[in-house]
C-alpha cells in the first residue's frame, strides 16, 4: 500500500506538496500538480484517513444513534441524516440501541473513541445523562425525536406529539366513539408520554375523562399485539383504539384479526407514524405522520452549522408539524 512518501518520491517532490495537491490546499504549479497526479494514478495511492484525522482533529464523521432500526420512521429519519451529511462531505455511523440505556452507553463509547465530529441522538431515556457524557468529551450533540429536561443545554429536533395525539383522538370522538383506548410505548419515553397526554386532553375536552383506558408497553409489534389482546377482553369492549406508533398499530391489527374481529367495523383504529408507501400493499391506516426525513435533515443541518461555528451558545428546540391522513381504519360515523 503506497503512502504519501512513495508518491512524493515518484513525483520528485516532498510529501507536503503531494498533500497540498491532493487536498487542493495551498498553491502548486501546473507542472507539479500534473506530476503528482500521475504518480498517484500509477501507484493507486489511497490516502489514509486515520493519519489525516489524527493530525487534523477532524474525522468528517457523524454518529446517528437511534432506538429501533426496524421501524420505518427511524430509517426515514436516517435517510434524511445521511443525505444531508453526505452533501456536506460527512459520513454517518449508524447505531441501534433497541431502547436500551446499556446499549446506548456502549455505542456512545465506541463512537467517541472513533472521534466522531458530532452525535445525533435519539435518547433511550430523556434524562440528559448521555448528552452530558458526550459534551464532556468536547463532542457536539443534537437530540432527535424526544424532549429533554429544561435544564439540558442542548439542541432538540422533534415533532408535535401532544397535538397529533389530540387530533387523532378527537377524530374518533367526532365519529361518535366514547370508549376509546390508547396503547402506547415505554412510560419513560417522552413521545409515549406526550401521546398519552394528547389522548387525555382530547378525552377531557369531550367530557370523557372518566373512561380513560391507558396501556403502556413498548414501541414494538409484539407489545402492540399484547396490549390489544388485553384491551379486547374488557367489558364492555372499547369501540376504538389509538396506537401510539406504527409498529404497535400493526401488532394491534393482528390481534384484532386473530380475535376474529375486523377493523374498522368492530373496532376503529388510528395511529402515529405511517408505513412507507413502497412496502404497503394495502394502505388503510388513519395516521398522524411525522416529517421523519425533514427531522433528520434539520437535526443534521443544526449539527453541521454548530461544527462550523462552535462559538454560539443559544440552544434551540425545533418542533415540526405533523400531517393527518384519514384512511379506512378510522371507519365512518357511528350510527
Q: Applying CB under 7 A, which residues contact DNA? A: 1, 3-5, 13-17, 19-20, 22-23, 25-29, 31-33, 47-48, 51-52, 54-57
Q: Kindly indicate which of the ranges 121-129, 271-279, 289-297, 304-312 contains the residues binding its own copies, using the contact rule CB under 8 A.
A: 271-279
Which one among 30, 113, 309, 313 touches its own copies, defined by CB under 8 A? 113
Q: Mutual orientation of helices 4-11 and 30-43 as an angle, nearest 10°?
A: 130
CA atoms within 13 A on the CB side of 187: 3
Q: In what order do the strands lie in the sheet with 240-243?
A: 213-216, 180-184, 240-243, 268-272, 286-289, 323-325
286-289 and 323-325: which strand pairing?
antiparallel
- Comparison of 194 and 226: residue with beta carbon closer to its own copies: 226
- In the bound state with its own copies, the residue whose beta carbon lies nearer, of 95 and 203, is 95
- Least distance between its own copies and beta carbon 118 (Å): 15
Residue 46 within binding range of its own copies, rule CB under 8 A? yes
Residue carrying C-alpha cell 390481534? 255
The reply to whether 236 sits near its own copies by the rule CB under 8 A is no
Look at residue 172 and give the partner it binds from DNA, its own copies, none, a contact being a CB closer than 5 to 8 Å depending on partner kind. Answer: none
DSSP label at residue 111: H
**Dihedrals phi, psi of 288, to nearest 5 degrees:** -100, 115
How many residues would you count in the chain?
335
Query: Judged by CB under 8 A, does residue 260 bind its own copies?
Result: no
* CA–CA gap between residue 25 and residue 29 (Å, rounded): 12
User: 275 near 283, Cβ under 8 Å?
Assistant: yes
Between 17 and 300, CB nearer to DNA: 17
User: Is 53 among the residues that bind its own copies (CB under 8 A)?
Assistant: yes
Single residue of 278, 308, 309, 313 touching its own copies by CB under 8 A: 278
CA nearest 193: which of 214, 170, 171?
Answer: 214
Closest contact distance (angstroms) between CB of 25 and DNA is: 6
Helix or strand (DSSP H, E) at 209: none
Residues that bind its own copies (CB under 8 A): 1, 44, 46-51, 53-54, 59, 69-70, 72, 75, 79, 82, 91, 93-94, 96, 109-110, 112-115, 136-138, 221, 247, 250, 253-254, 275-276, 278-282, 284
Amino acid at each position: 500500500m503506497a503512502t504519501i512518501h512513495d508518491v512524493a518520491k515518484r513525483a520528485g517532490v516532498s510529501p507536503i506538496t503531494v498533500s497540498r495537491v491532493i487536498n487542493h490546499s495551498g498553491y502548486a504549479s501546473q507542472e507539479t500538480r500534473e506530476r503528482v497526479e500521475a504518480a498517484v494514478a500509477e501507484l493507486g495511492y489511497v490516502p489514509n484517513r486515520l493519519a489525516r484525522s489524527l493530525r487534523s482533529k477532524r474525522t468528517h464523521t457523524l454518529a446517528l444513534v437511534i432506538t429501533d432500526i426496524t421501524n420505518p420512521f427511524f430509517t426515514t429519519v436516517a435517510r434524511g441524516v445521511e443525505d444531508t451529511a453526505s452533501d456536506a462531505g460527512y459520513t454517518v455511523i449508524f447505531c441501534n440501541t433497541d431502547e436500551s440505556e446499556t446499549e446506548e452507553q456502549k455505542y456512545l463509547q465506541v463512537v467517541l473513541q472513533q472521534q466522531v465530529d458530532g452525535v445525533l441522538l435519539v435518547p433511550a431515556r430523556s434524562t440528559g445523562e448521555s448528552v452530558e457524557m458526550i459534551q464532556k468529551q468536547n463532542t457536539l450533540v443534537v437530540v432527535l425525536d424526544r424532549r429533554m429536561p429544561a435544564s439540558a443545554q442542548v439542541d432538540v429536533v422533534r415533532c408535535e406529539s401532544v397535538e397529533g395525539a389530540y387530533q387523532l383522538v378527537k377524530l374518533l370522538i367526532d365519529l361518535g366513539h366514547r370508549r376509546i383506548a390508547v396503547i402506547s410505548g415505554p412510560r419513560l419515553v417522552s413521545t409515549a408520554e406526550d401521546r398519552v397526554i394528547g389522548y387525555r386532553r382530547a378525552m377531557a375536552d369531550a367530557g370523557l375523562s372518566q373512561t380513560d383506558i391507558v396501556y403502556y408497553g413498548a414501541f414494538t409489534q409484539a407489545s402492540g399485539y399484547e396490549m390489544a389482546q388485553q384491551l379486547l377482553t374488557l367489558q364492555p369492549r372499547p369501540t376504538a383504539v389509538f396506537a401510539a406508533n406504527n409498529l404497535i398499530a400493526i401488532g394491534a391489527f393482528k390481534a384484532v384479526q386473530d380475535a376474529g374481529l375486523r377493523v374498522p367495523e368492530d373496532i376503529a383504529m388510528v395511529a402515529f407514524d405511517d408505513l412507507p408507501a413502497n412496502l404497503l400493499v394495502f394502505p388503510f391506516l388513519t395516521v398522524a405522520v411525522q416529517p421523519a426525513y425533514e427531522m433528520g435533515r434539520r437535526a443534521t443541518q443544526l449539527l453541521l452549522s454548530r461544527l462550523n461555528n462552535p462559538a454560539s451558545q443559544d440552544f434551540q428546540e425545533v418542533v415540526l408539524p405533523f400531517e393527518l391522513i384519514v384512511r379506512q381504519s378510522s371507519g365512518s360515523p357511528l350510527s
